[in-house]
A and B are shown apart, each in its own frame.
Chain A
Amino acid sequence: MRGPIVLAFLVITFGGAPVSAHAFLQHADPGAGATLRAPPARVALSFSEKLEPVFSGVVVTDAFGHNVEAGTVMIGGNAMMAPLLPLPPGSYRVTWHAVSVDTHRTEGAYSFRVKP
């Protein structure tokens, strides 16, 4: 029994390619559910894998669904950053999608608040 298993793993190993995986969100600033006293200047997200910039992105919207990014979202390595307009008090929604360099897609969304 051990022989076939070892052989199968050798076949798998020699047939393989450099590993990469789903890009899972590892850190967000501001974080999910955060309540902030001062409006953030940007939303910064970091992921577990390198991203494909063309196929990844983040959108930040206010309670009315209006975009509040101040410019182009920057994506490089395993991070993305969205500069924000000056945010009045209220609730905001961060919606992101990430495609890792091996084409696996992940997505997510969360909210944060800016206190009056």
Chain B
Amino acid sequence: MIGIHQRWATPRFSLPALALPCAAAFVPAPAAAHGVIGDRFFPATISTDDPFAADELALPTITSFDHETDIDFDYSKSIVRGFAIEVGIGHVDAKPPGEPRERGFGNLSISPSLEVYRNTKHEFIFTTGIELEVGGTGNRAVAERTSTFTPTIKFGKGLGDLPDSMKYLRPLAVTGTVGYSIPTAGNETKSIEWGGAIEYSLLYLQNNVRDQGFSNFVAHVTPVVEFSVSSRTRVGEGGTTGTINPGLIWSGQYVQLAAEAVVPVNKESGHGIGFIAQLHFYIDDIFPHSLGRPIFGGKK
């Protein structure tokens, strides 16, 4: 479920404070499967949140676009099966043309997610969540002073249930997310944050449709197009901005590498083409008997 967000990080967040109790809570429970539902494996999308509540670590996510470079960290921990809390921090380095350079850590974000519905036969998952950007926790130069709540719904759907006549479309899958961003300061504009991904799984093509003779490396590549959009709800305050991000995701057994171009959808969204890249760890696979399991519940 880890993706980048429109939030910045904080230096106040203490990683040891999080990691120590998590590591200590080795309660036996089933390993939470990241991105697997039915025959389908969904890689973790990097520009938008995917709908899985799992044990994952994105370190780092590097984004360079429109005179700004961000380095983000996100860690998602499953509390019980299907429910996880993600925390994110990041560093911003911005140098708009004609303006002084500004850099520092952004606000802390905390994002609980709950998988509400899974249908393995139809490769479908529906998740709800809320993202809290904690205002004032980041550097004043780059972070908002007010907090923002964003209730969000997310879904994923694989097209593996298409008929034989459309079998080469079966490797396709889509994910989507829609959130309503509500700043706690009454004078700030609310917005709808929406996005998603269209992905074509070579692994699904190879294993479920037709053996293409791909090497093991190539079979784990997923071409993807993500889009991330923000639409202001008040007329005359910015309209819609966003980016379309085509790229590739390679999913290994324990880690995932991803890189995408960042293309603005309009002038207001930025100038030029940027990039985003991420190194992602599947904690549930790396530590299946300890940190990769939910803290509470389940049976071994």
Mark A residues whose CB is within 8 Å of B: 1, 4-5, 7-8, 11-12, 14-17, 19-22, 24-26, 28, 31-34, 48-49, 102-110
Contact = CB atoms under 8 A, between A and B. Distances in A.
Contacts of A15: 23-24, 26, 287, 290-291
B207 A32 contact: yes
Given A8-B16, A15-B26, A22-B36, A104 B211 contact: no
Interface stretch (B190-198, B224-232, B278-286): B278-286
18 contacts: A5-B59, A7-B15, A7-B16, A8-B19, A12-B19, A15-B26, A16-B286, A20-B285, A22-B36, A22-B285, A26-B216, A31-B211, A33-B211, A48-B253, A102-B288, A104-B33, A104-B36, A104-B284
Contacts of A33: 167, 209-211
B287 A17 contact: yes
Interface in B1-49: 11, 14-16, 18-20, 23-24, 26, 30-31, 33, 36, 38-39, 41
Contact of A106 (B15, B36, B283): B36
A102 B31 contact: yes
Nearest to B37: A107
Interface in B168-192: none
A6 B167 CA distance: 47
B208 interface: yes
Contacts of A4: 14-16
Q: B interface, how many residues as a size bin?
A: 35 or more
Contacts of B59: 5
Given A15-B26, A31-B211, A33-B211, A102 B253 contact: no
B118 interface: no
A99 B52 CA distance: 20
B155 to A, nearest CB: 21
A56 to B, nearest CB: 15
Given A8-B18, A12-B283, A48-B253, 4 more contacts: A22-B33, A32-B208, A32-B210, A109-B39
A21 B288 contact: yes
Contacts of A12: 19, 23, 283, 287, 291
A36 B195 CA distance: 44
A24 B19 CA distance: 29
Q: Give the 9 A-B CB pairs with smallest separation, nearest first.
A: A31-B211, A33-B210, A102-B288, A21-B285, A15-B23, A4-B15, A17-B289, A8-B19, A8-B15
Contacts of B146: none
Most buried by A among B14, B19, B38, B284: B19
